[in-house]
Structure 1
Amino acid sequence: MSQLTYRTALESDLNFLLDLRTKTMNPHLIASSLSTTVDSHMLRVKYKFEHASIIEYNRTSIGLLKIERKQDSIELIQIQIDPLYQGRGIGKKIFEQIINEANSEKRSITLQVLKVNKAQRLYIKLGFKIMEESHDSYLMKYSKDV
């Protein structure tokens, strides 16, 4: 999987990111009775956009990774992989890279996931624990100490 690379997201990527978010999130948002309008998707795409990277596989844009590195934690804001590339271990590989970084720098990782999103099973397998719960999502944390 050495063809997995990241590049800074640009304004010119907004249409790709809007399409990606629609494809990856609409089923979960609908199941959670949350908005799927273009405006609501674009608000989320632009949220903390300065932390957004495009995931590329064999030089093809296949996803979004949005993380904010803080002093003692890493906040995973968004990760989305095009459904055509899901199930190939790419998400797991990305998470392993982030976990290795967190462990080497003694940082925790936090993320939020919708309760209906099956990705939470991967997060639990990788060592994330549910810390808080809201009506439609979980706040999860990975830490060697948790």
Structure 2
Amino acid sequence: MNTSLTYRQATERDLDFLFDLRTKTMVPHYEVSGLSTDRETTMQRILYQFEKANIILLDNQPIGLLKVDRTFTNIDILQLQIDPAQQGKGLGKKILTDILEEASLAGKTVSLSVLKTNKAQHLYTSLGFRIVDEDQNSYFMETEKQ
């Protein structure tokens, strides 16, 4: 894939973009799961660990969000959202592959959670994530330490 994916720190100026992105990518899953989709709850999810939020840029245009928490032993993917208009092009797989490579080089595990209604779980499984726990709405997945 010959695309230019870059990242920049999210700022308050990105909140409208992030609200729109989250509405398009997550609200359908929350509705099916019976979870709250009101504006206040959506903003709380956007602002959760906002200092770790990065806007994903494709050819300098914002197309998504990557929020990652890096610790000494783990990389936790808190949120990964790609605009539906850009899905199915291998971008999510490329982003995840880069994170998995980083973890492998550092001897870390990678973890994430995914709603049971979200078909992205198939991508995660194909990249080596396995379910280690679950609750009513989500699977908790991780990779083996490399």
- Shared fold (TM-score greater than 0.5)? yes
TM-score for both structures, normalised by structure 1? 0.97
Q: How does 1:106-145 map to 2 (within 5 A)?
A: 106-144=107-145
> Which runs of no fewer than 5 residues in structure 1 stay unpaired?
none
State the AA in 2 paired with 1:86. Answer: Q
1:24, 1:2 → 2: CA distance? 22
TM-score for both structures, normalised by structure 2? 0.97
> Which runs of no fewer than 5 residues in structure 2 stay unpaired?
none
Query: Which residue number corresponds to residue 85 of structure 2?
Result: 84
Q: Match of 1:53, SS?
A: strand
Q: CA RMSD of the aligned region, Å?
A: 0.9
Query: Which residue number corresponds to residue 65 of structure 2?
Result: 64
Q: Aligned pair 1:20/2:21, yes or no?
A: yes
Deviation at 1:47, TM superposition (A): 0.1
Q: Match of 1:42, SS?
A: helix
Q: Aligned pair 1:6/2:18, yes or no?
A: no
Write the deviation string for residues 21-62 of structure 1: whole angstroms up to 9, x where unpaired: 000001101110001111111000000001000000011000
2:22, 2:106 → 1: CA distance? 31
Identity %: 50
State the AA in 2 paired with 1:91. Answer: G
1:27, 1:2 → 2: CA distance? 28
